[in-house]
Structure formats: structure tokens, C-alpha cells
Structure 1
């Protein structure tokens, strides 16, 4: 329906109209009798010109607008959502579900041709279809809720007043279909197909495994098995590492879909990352075998870290350090402490430093330097030293002074001097906790920073910029000296613990309400950073898991840090991926924050993939990393192929739609929620420049005629 109306933009338009009418009357009275008398035709001509001028001026003052109002009916079309996920290729009684659909869609084709129906296919996303031809199954996921939500957003664009979902009701991805159906606000009808009786099937539903174990321990895999057979059955559960079968065992699976939990323990006898696969087999026929296999990945670390602890003289600091290190059963401790006088014990200078995972030097004075100074210097030069140096006032005056200067702890030409005074610790607050302070509790920084001052003797250091200061010693006047600092350089990893007795602070913190030892955490973190932490590379790019199910989105994660674990946020991370089909996929990871990068190629076909990651900073490639991952044939789409007609009934009931079983040859009608939209179009029927031009022309012509006829 269409209406026309005239509106005025000036609220005072009635007064202008009255004034205009009055002026026109006056003009008529004036030209009724003129001196000298004019012919009637000329009077009429002058009257019309003057009247048109007045009308144009009045229109300009009133601002008239012609408004055209159209009201149209909406919601006249039905959106048909056709399920083309992988489950639609499954056969019930020898006929695939997708073929069942085509037999009823001929009834809808005329509606598409007439423009009353709009067809879409859906699986993990929706696709507009030109006709009601059933597309072949092509996805390993079904996102019914997401499809309903996307169609709801297209209501106005496509004039949609209702939906018809044609599906088996299986939804294993995305948002909740019932929730999205209620939000859509239009009737949703459904045609349901597929068998609701569970099909004969056995499956491995889940595998849980530890991320990390130590060599010599047991790897415990917790598996959840399931059987939809009508009777209890026996099946063989096989465990593989790569292509090697490790073990096979018989398991009894209960009938009726009940879960069966099984634990498999395998000795961790090698170091590295290993992939394990579990296969479930039986002699009973199954409709589906893709869900009979699952995999897990485990990192096996070295069982015992060899640590050499060397003291300068007997003191509480050495005893405390030895007690902490010996309390961890993952450490194998060798220690050397010289005696006094004639009982002094001297070990050979080549005491196998390179056979230890890390060295702890407590004291670093003349005694230690005389026995190990040359060995330490050689290891630093070769880039093979992982060492914690506990400095004392004797360190600056001993041969260690030259070593400390050589590793950049006396920058600016400053000498190493002994310092004495009362200091309290001060932790540096950072967005990323320093590796030496993890996994301390969140309030650890305040614990350390609120301790009372104690008498300190240490070395005044002036570290170069590559050193990272983790903790300072703060005097009462606010001056600070480095207390705990670290540096990775040329293959070496060095931690400096400057002065003591730090163990006294641990006694302050280890009180009744806080029974944990913060100092112990720091010492163990130092060991981790020097040894196992060295295996955790500052630059790392890999997939978020080693094995994916078919249909999963493959995601890569990167961590780009410098050698001292400071984040690099300006790096470029490009990944090149190659699979069994030979095609290469190239994509770039995007920086999130704090040196973390994420991205991925999305979903991939099943098979093994090899990748190369190139990390660049300022145009220079600083690291190239490689690896591989697998995409299994099994996917969530095939975890259960039992139709969920109950879900479709619930959706239709909650939204005012109608429900049909495919066996009843459904034809509709399917309800629509129609509405109306009022659209207005405004047309300005005046133009200031044109009106002024016409008025001037009319008045000029009138004035010329009046002048020629000698009218006043």
C-alpha cells in the first residue's frame, strides 16, 4: 500500500500561507484597474507572473516535502536448511540418509523456482544452494546451532519468516541448537530422518595421559571404552609406540552403551617425546570402525639431574643449600667442601664438570678458584657451563674477580668491591613472572619485599644490559644492589646469587601461617632454568597437540623470547605446511601479547603433516624450527550416528514450528511469522537556487513590461 502526503519543515507555515494568499489578493486588486488602462490579456499576464513569484517565495519559507509511504509485508519466504554433514552419508537399512532426502525434495522444487523457498546446506557452516538438490556429505562436524543463528541474521535480507530443518538431529559442534532456536524469533519446523536405535559399535571414547613423566617412572594412560552391542563382548585392546606393538590385552565391554574405564601402564625407559596409539578390535560386525583408535603424546624427561655442589668453607649457607638440593629425589647430588688445616680435602681439578647437568659454587673464593678456576674458564669459553655462583666478599678479591669481569658484571670500568650493610630483598614486578620465581604463589613478591633487613656482605656488581636482575637488595636509604640475576650467553647459562646469609630470610618466611619454603622454590627454579629449563627453548613454534581428530581445527602456538626470557612482540612467524597430497600451505602466526603467537590452517584432511616455521626479527631469520603432526580419520561426527529426533521435536515445539518424520512423506504447510515494514521516502519539492533564479526572472519580466507600459 502506498500513501502520499505533503509535510512542511517550517512550523510557522500557516502564517506564511495566509500572508501569501493576502498578497495574491492584493495583486489581483491592483491589476483589476490600471492607469493607463491595459488590455485584459496583459493584465492576466502580469498577475500570473507576480503570483508565481509570491508562491515560490512562500514555498521557500515553508520548506515543503513530499512524503511517499510504502508498507510491505515481510516474512514471506521459508529457509530450508539441508544437513550435508558426514553423518548424512551413513546408511539406515541400506539407504543413505542423503538419498532419503531427495525423494521428498521434488515437492519443494517448485517453491524454490517461485521464490518462496530459499535453500541452504549446513555442516560446520552454511552455504546458499541454487536448488533443492541434496549436496553430498562433505564435513566431519555438524553445527546445527550455528546454522540457525546465521539464518536468523539473514531474516531481513532474504525476507525469511520461518525455517525448515532437514536433518538427523546430530549436533556436535558450535552453539546449542535449542538456545539459538529460541533466540531466532521465527517458527522452525523440522523433517527428521535416521535410525534412533543405537547401532552395533565399540569405541575408544577418551584417552587421558600425563604431559610429562621422568625416565624410570610409569606412564599411566586412562582410557574410556564404550560398547553399543546388545550383549557383553570381549575385545582386544592393543598399545603401539609408533609402529611397534607394546602390548595386547583382552577387555570385557558391557552392553548397552555403558562406559568401561581401563588403565594401561607403560614404563618410561627413554628420553624424548613419544606418540602412543591404542586400537580396539573385536570379531563382531560394526557399522563404524573409525572410532576404534585414539592416540596420545607424552614427554619423557631425564630421571635424575646430576648436580655438583662445591663449597669454599664450612658455613650455614653451604649446609642449607645442600639440604634443599638433597631433599629433591629428582636430583643426584655430589658435593665437595674443603676441611680445615691438615685435614683439607682436595679433589682432582678435572672432577668431570662436563658430566654434570649443572654446578653450584657456594662461596667462590681463592680455595675454589685454585682447584676449579681454569676448568670453569675453559667451559665458559666452550659455551658448556650451566652454573650457579654464590658470591661472597672473598669473590671480588680472588681469581673469580677476573671471571666475573669476563662475563660482564663490572661494566663501565667499575671495580668489584666488597659491600657490607643491612639490606632487605626487593622483587621486580613483571607481566611475565621470571622463571626463577615460578611457581611461587601470587603473594610471594610481597612476601619477599616486606621482610626485615639483615646484615649483608656481598659484591658490588655493575652488570651489563644483557644480565637480567630478578631481585635486588635494598638499603634503608633506598639504594639497591643486584641480589639475584641471570644470563644466557654463548651457550652458557649463569645464575648469580650475590651474598648471604639469604637462608635467614627463608626462616622469616617459613613461619606458622606460611609453612612453605620460598627459598627452596627459588633454588629448584634455578636448577630448572639451568638444566630442564634449558631444554624449554626461548623460541618455540608447534601445534597445540600432536594428533588431531578429522575435522578439528589445527592450531599453531609460538613463544618468541630472547635468551633471557624477555618477550619479543615484533617477530614475524611464517609456517610452511606440507601433507600427503603434496600441496603446500603457508600462513603467518599473529602476535597476541607477551611474546605469544597464534594461528593455523584450519581443518585438514587426515594424514601426516610436516611443517617448517621461520622466525624473523627486523628482516633477519633468527630461527628455523620443524616438526610434524597427524590428523586421524576419526572425528566427532562419527562418535555417535544415532539420530537425535528428540532434539528436533524440542526445537519445533519451542518455536511454533511443525515436526514430521521422513517416513510420513511430509509436505507441509510450514508456518511463517509474517510482519510488515513501513518505509518512507521524502522528496524536497523546493530548491533555493532555482527558486531565487525563477523569482528574479519573473520579477524582471514583470518590471520590463510595466516599464514599457508606463505603469508605476
Structure 2
């Protein structure tokens, strides 16, 4: 049954009033004419005027035309058949009764499908789907169309498709033939509970696995550091072996890193070996874990695993230099150490030109990326330290200056080259003030500590800190992000400045006692009634400044890498890119390219934008081998940064990692969905269940909406009626 319903965005009474008013206006307008025309002509002009007004009203009254179609849909049954490689394996087992038998999954599957009547089912319309890493809908059942060579098993994908088809089709029952070994996609158990269709599962295989030893995975840090040892854990499973002295090896490429022996015991399946691995050079290390191939082992294809590890020169390293012990030291150090992989060396001056242990060395400065001068120099500070900072600044490293009560600005003046200001004068008289963050700088990524305008409001409510009567002149290339406010007086003296010139950066905080931001900032969030309840405004600001100073064009601003380091042949290689600005805030609308290179061939792809600086997409399928990639991000034609790496395409062994059928999992899926579980050899029971299925027709309602407001043809009709009216009136000589 089909229905067409017209709905309006206005009340029905309002529509009725408009129609009546339109009729009244039309009647009044054409009740008498000058000159007088025949009655039939007045009626014609009135009808034309009325329809012109009506179509104009419809155009602006938000009407929706609903086409509703109800149809009777006959029920059908969907058969999902596992097409993965594990469905054709064959092995011999001996059970606890010492009875030997052969497990042949292909033979079991064939018998379960043919002897039960699945292959020739005709009581209701039947659809046959095969699934492995993906799924395909087939026509009539043909056993030859199943090659049982899928690299993975993903049951969620076909079930989700059926779930989405519920409104359009009448699927009355689902039968799944599988071993229950799901190694791809999410767990389908929750969807099975929500799908509203009974799922009948037919389990093939056996719970006793073949005699085999398997490397199931490598666990280590994705990022390693040169000359820094890191653990590499190799997980191993053993089935049916009782053997001592089995060799496990770890390789970096073709070079042996280390090897260990393990003792395999029958009845114990899980083993792990931990190696110490120390990278020696920057780049991408290919770690290969291998376990010895044993005699009578079911498969040797699963005796190794590979992992790619990125090796960088060092961690993010800061050097903090202070003229004397102050509370701000521990505050800044705590913020730095919140970031994993960061390291801070602290050098504090004591009486004279001496430093507390540890004492600074030239090598400490060479290895650092950011230098923090906290109340340094004082009157007795050695110039050598400032000379070292200046030399490293000229190499492209960054400086953060934080003033203190006893800072000697005259001693600092010769080194203004790496500061964002020029010194004018200073009086040691101390006063308190609050930071005044400028609204004009609201878009600056350093001030982006919370969404929208909340971040700037939080920063402008930070507790008071201290300052001497210091006067400076910002450099022309500097940006003043905040000034000072004393009481209700807004002063133009800079408080927070940044400076970027010829790829070198520095920042200055011209105030001290910033540790008070953390001590007093907790009550601030309640005062502001901010949704960002977890934010510590002062610490977030300091972290943004440090991130801006330490941001590396290649590593921090642009991060492009494959979604995993190991892909199998015929699998789509997928990449994810993250693009950030100078403070690592997300950048949208960038052009992100990935170039995959091997020998003399290369493939280039563009990653689609997801949002919030994230880009993701597939770049194609590749043959077995090692591949290098180069990722580049552009904005307005300018290169933001790049990333390089490596991935591996290999013959998949996911289907060779687990052989034990998961019958209990299949039973659970059937129970929660209202179906039943059968073993592969219970063909009579399966046939009886198929014959006893009683499925009912279903009324499928399809609704299509046509939004008529701002619908151009209506406006054209209205104009057409008014034009016809005007032409007729002119022809009749009406005023």
C-alpha cells in the first residue's frame, strides 16, 4: 500500500487561516473590476491569483512531502560459510582416551553443508555468503566457489551488514558454518545479542590442536633510542611437545641479537622469552623472532614474527640552569617529566661561580634541545654557561628565559641575540601582578589550553605572581602574548613573549612565583564553571610553550605512518597521518601525500582528511617484501613537514597461529541471539531444524521525504501564475 502525506512546519490552523485569508483577498480583489469584465474572466483571474499565493506560501512554509510504501516481504535464510585458510587444515590427534583420529576441516565442512541440506535448501529463499577478511554475497551454492584461502576471519563484518539490512529485507534466520577462530575485527558477540535474528552456528574442527610450536607475537616499544637498552618480549605457544633446549632467537635484520633456550612441557602452552636489545644506529630496525623448527611439527610457517621499531638518536632533552634554588625549578621540572620520553638536567648555582652537583659540562649542552634560564644569570654567574647557550642557539636550538628576583639583566644584555626582548632598565623593587592575556592573541596555539574562548578566560584568571620593576623592548620579530595588570590598571609592559627567527626560537616569562599557578589554580576551575574540569591552566600554558620550543618539523609536526608494520599479501596497506602546527595543535585542510618506494618503483597516494588534524586512507596492495615510505604534508603549497619509515608485506600466518576450534564462543552467540549450536556431524539435527523453521512474512515500510521548502519549482510556479495573471489583466485593460 502506497501513501503520500504532506506535512507543514506550521500549525494546521495557521494554514487554514492563510487559505481563508487568500480566498477572501482574491474575492475582494475581483468582486468588482475597473473596467468591468465578464464574471467567468473574474473567476479565472481569481483562481490564478489564489494559486500564485498558495504556491508562494508553500515555498516558505517548510512543507515535507512523504512517500510511504508498505510491501509484504517474504522471509529468507542467510548461510554464512567461513572461507578462511584455517577451514582446510588437516591433522592427526590423540585424545585423552589415547584414541587417534584425523581432523579434516574441509571434509567436515563439506559434510555439514551437503548432508544437512544446506547446499540444496529450498523451503525459504536462501542466500549464501562467504566470509574471511571480508565477505561476498554469492548466488546459488557452489562448493567450487569456496577456496578456503582467506588470510583472516572476520565474522563481525557480515553480521553488521545483515544488521543494517533488517529494515529493507526480511531475514528470518542466519546459519554460520565456522571453526569459531575469529582473528580480525571486533568481537561479534555484542552485535549477535542486538541483531534480533536467531543465529544457528555449526562448529567444525576440534578442540585438540595439532602438534606445533608458534611465535604468537613480539612485544616491545615502537620507538627506541640509540644506545638505550629496551626489552623485547617474544610470546610462544607450544602444543603437544615435551622437549628441553628449544632455541629461540632474536635478529635485527640478518644479524643475531641474542638467543635463549626454553623447555617445552606437555600440557603447558604459553611461554615467553625476554631479550635485551640495544639499538646502535638511527633508522628503522627490523626485529625478527624465531623459534627452532621441530621434527613432526605441523607447520613451520608460524615459527617467526617480525616487528619494525623506529630508532631515534635520543629523548627530548632539556637543560635547566638556575642562579639559585627557587620553587619554580621543581614546578617546571614536574611539567617536563609529565611527558613520556622527556629528560631534564638541572644545574643550580651556589655561592660564587660554583654549581651544586651535578656540574654542567659542554657535552650536556650539545645533547640538549631546549635551554631554560631560570633566574640566570645572577651577578656571580660565569659567562661560559651563556656562551655555551649562545653557541647551541646558533645551531638551531631553543631557549626559555624565566626571570627571578636576583636576575642580573646587565650581565645578560650581551646575549640578547637569543632573547625575544632588549633590556632597558630594572629596579629590584618587587610587586605582584596578574597576567593579562590579549584577546587579539586568542588564535595563538600556545594559548590553546581549552576549547573556544574558555582557555583565554582561564588564563586571565590565573593567580597573581611577582615581578621587579623591569622594562624591556620587544624585538620586531617577537610576539607579545600577554602583558601585566596591577589592580585594575592594565599596563603595556610585556609578560609573555615568543620569538622565532631563521628557524630558531625563544620565549620569555617576565615574572616569577609561577609555581603559585598550580597551588591556587584548582579553585579557579570552580570559579569559572568551566567544562574543562581537569585542566591546570598554568601547567598547560608552560607545556604549550615547551612544546612550541621543542617542536621538530619532521617528527613532531607531521606524523605519518602505516596502521601496522606488518601487512599480508593482498591486504590493503593503510596509513594514518597527523599534522600539527608549531605547538602541535591539529592542522586541517592540509595535503597529505604518501609515496611507497621499493627498488625503482614507487606508488603515490593522497590521504583523505578525517578531521582535527587526522588523515587516513588506503594506498594499495603490494607483493611480499620490505617497503620504504615517504609522507609529506603541505598547506597552501608550502611543506609543513615529512616523515619516513618502513613496513613489511609478508605471507600471512594469522590462520596458522590458532587451530583449536572455539565451540563455547559459537554456543554463546547462538544462545544470546535465540538460535542453536550444532557440531558439524549433527547433520540430522541441522536438517530437522531447517525443516522446522517457521518464518513469517514481514511488512517492510519504506519512507522517502521530499523537502519542498526552498524548492525552486514551487517558486517558479508561483511566479508563473502571477505572470499569467498580469498578462490577462493587461489584455483586459484592468488597472
Normalised to the residue count of structure 1, the TM-score between the two structures is 0.65
Residue from 689, 692, 696 that aligns with 1:675: 696
Residue equivalent to 2:288: 277
Q: Does 1:496 align with 2:501?
A: no
Give unmatched runs, 5+ long, in structure 2: 2-68, 93-101, 355-360, 523-535, 703-735
The residue number in structure 1 matching 2:179 is 168
Show the counterpart of 2:731: none
Distance (Å, rounded) in 2 between the aligned partners of 1:498 and 1:112: 82
Distance 2:287 2:611 in 1: 32
**Which SS does the other structure have where 2:141 is aligned?**
coil
Q: Report the Cα distance in structure 1 between the residues aligned to 2:403 and 2:687, rounded to whole angstroms.
A: 87
Equivalent of 2:607, from 569, 588, 605? 588
Q: Which of 658, 670, 680 is the equivalent residue of 1:640?
A: 658
Instruction: Verify the 8 A CA contact 1:365 1:394 in the aligned structure 2.
Output: yes
Partners of 1:141 and 1:551 within 8 A in 2: no
Q: Where does 1:177-188 land on structure 2 (aligned, <5 Å)? A: 177-188=188-199
> Contact 2:241–2:265 at 8 Å: present in 1 too?
no
Q: Which of 260, 269, 283 is 1:249 aligned to?
A: 260
Cα displacement string for residues 131-177 of structure 1 (whole angstroms, at most 9, x for unaligned residues): 31232134322222432342354457554332222222222333544
Post-superposition shift, 1:121? 0.9
1:447, distance to aligned residue in structure 2 (A): 10
Instruction: Supply the RMSD in Å over aligned alpha carbons.
Output: 5.5
Alignment-derived partner of residue 558 in structure 2: 539
Distance 2:251 2:70 in 1: 72
Q: Is 1:424 aligned with 2:424?
A: no
Q: 1:526 to 1:91 in 2, by over 3 A?
A: same
2:141 to 125, 132, 144: 132
- Find out whether 1:627 has 2:645 as its counterpart: yes
Name the TM-score, length of structure 2 as normaliser. Answer: 0.63
Distance in 2 separating the partners of 1:169 and 1:506 = 54
Give how far 1:270 is off.
Answer: 5.1
Q: Residue 570 and residue 479 in structure 1: after superposition, are their counterparts in 2 closer, same or farther (change >3 A)?
A: farther
CA deviations 1:433-456 (Å, max 9, x no partner) are: 959999xxx99x979955344353
C-alpha distance 426-638 of structure 1, shift in aligned 2 (>3 A): farther
- The answer as to whether partners of 2:320 and 2:344 remain within 8 angstroms in 1 is no
Q: Secondary structure at the match of 1:668?
A: helix
1:456 aligns with 2:468: yes
Cα deviation for residue 251 of structure 1 reads 0.9
Change (3 A) 1:232 1:615: same
Q: Do the aligned partners of 2:405 and 2:512 also contact (CA within 8 Å) in 1?
A: no
Unaligned runs of 5+ in 1: 3-68, 344-349, 511-516, 682-712
Q: Are residue 83 (structure 1) and residue 82 (structure 2) matched?
A: yes
SS at match of 2:181: coil
**Cα distance, 1:142–1:430 mapped onto 2, change above 3 Å:** farther
Call closer, same or farther: CA 1:565–1:230 in 2, change over 3 Å.
Answer: closer
How many Å separate the matches in 2 of 1:680 and 1:649?
34
Aligned length: 586
**Separation in structure 2 between the aligned mates of residue 138 and residue 376 of structure 1, nearest angstrom:** 62
Q: Which residue of 1 is the match for residue 630 of structure 2?
A: 612
Deviation at 1:246, TM superposition (A): 1.0
The alpha carbon displacement at 1:501 in A equals 6.2
Structure of higher CA gyration radius:
1
Deviation of the 1:476 alpha carbon: 1.9
Shift of 1:228: 1.5
Q: Match for 1:144 among 134, 155, 163?
A: 155
Distance 1:273 1:336, change over 3 A: farther
CA distance in 1, matches of 2:442, 2:567: 35
| Alpha-carbon separation, structure 2, partners of 1:334 and 1:571 | 42
Kindly indicate whether the alpha-carbon contact (under 8 Å) linking 1:236 and 1:250 is maintained by their aligned counterparts in 2.
yes
Report the counterpart of residue 262 of structure 1 in structure 2.
Answer: 273
Distance 1:487 1:90, change over 3 A: farther
Tell me: CA distance 1:475–1:290, structure 2 relative to 1, closer, same or farther (3 Å): farther
Q: Aligned equivalents of 1:640 and 1:473: distance in 2?
A: 66
Question: Counterpart of 2:581?
Answer: 562
Please report how far the alpha carbon of residue 262 of structure 1 lies from its aligned counterpart in structure 2 after TM superposition: 3.1
C-alpha distance 468-238 of structure 1, shift in aligned 2 (>3 A): farther
